[in-house]
A = this chain, B = another copy of it.
Amino acid sequence: MAGPERRKKPRLTGDVDGEARIIPPTRDMTYSLPSGRHLASARRREIYVHASRLFVEQGYDATSMSDIARAVKITKAGLYHFVESKEDLLFTIINWGMDELYEEVVDPARAVEDPRERLRLIIRNHLSNIGRVASPYGNPVTRVVDEASALGPERRRAVEDRKRGYFELIRNTLVQLRDRGELADGIDPTVAAHSIIGAIMWMARWRRPRGRLSLDEVIEQITALTLQGVLAAGVAD
Contacts and interface: CB of A to CB of B under 8 A. Distances in A.
Given A187-B225, A221-B187, A202 B198 contact: yes
Interface in A165-223: 184, 186-188, 190-192, 194-203, 205-206, 212-213, 217-218, 221-222
Contacts of A229: 225-226, 228-230
A2 interface: yes
A29 interface: no
Contacts of A149: 58-59
A62 B6 CA distance: 9
Given A67-B1, A67-B2, A213-B188, A226 B195 contact: yes
For the residues of A in contact with B, the DSSP-based class is: helix
A124 to B, nearest CB: 14
B203 A202 contact: no
A132 to B, nearest CB: 18
A224 interface: yes
Given A187-B225, A221-B188, A202 B213 contact: no
Contacts of A201: 198, 202
Contacts of A221: 186-188, 191-192, 195
Contacts of A184: 224-225, 228
Contacts of A230: 225, 228-229
A233 B236 CA distance: 11
Contacts of A14: none
Interface of A: 1-2, 6, 58-59, 61-64, 66-67, 70, 149-150, 184, 186-188, 190-192, 194-203, 205-206, 212-213, 217-218, 221-222, 224-226, 228-230, 233-234
Interchain residue pairs A-B with the least CB separation, the first 5: A198-B202, A229-B229, A61-B61, A195-B199, A191-B221
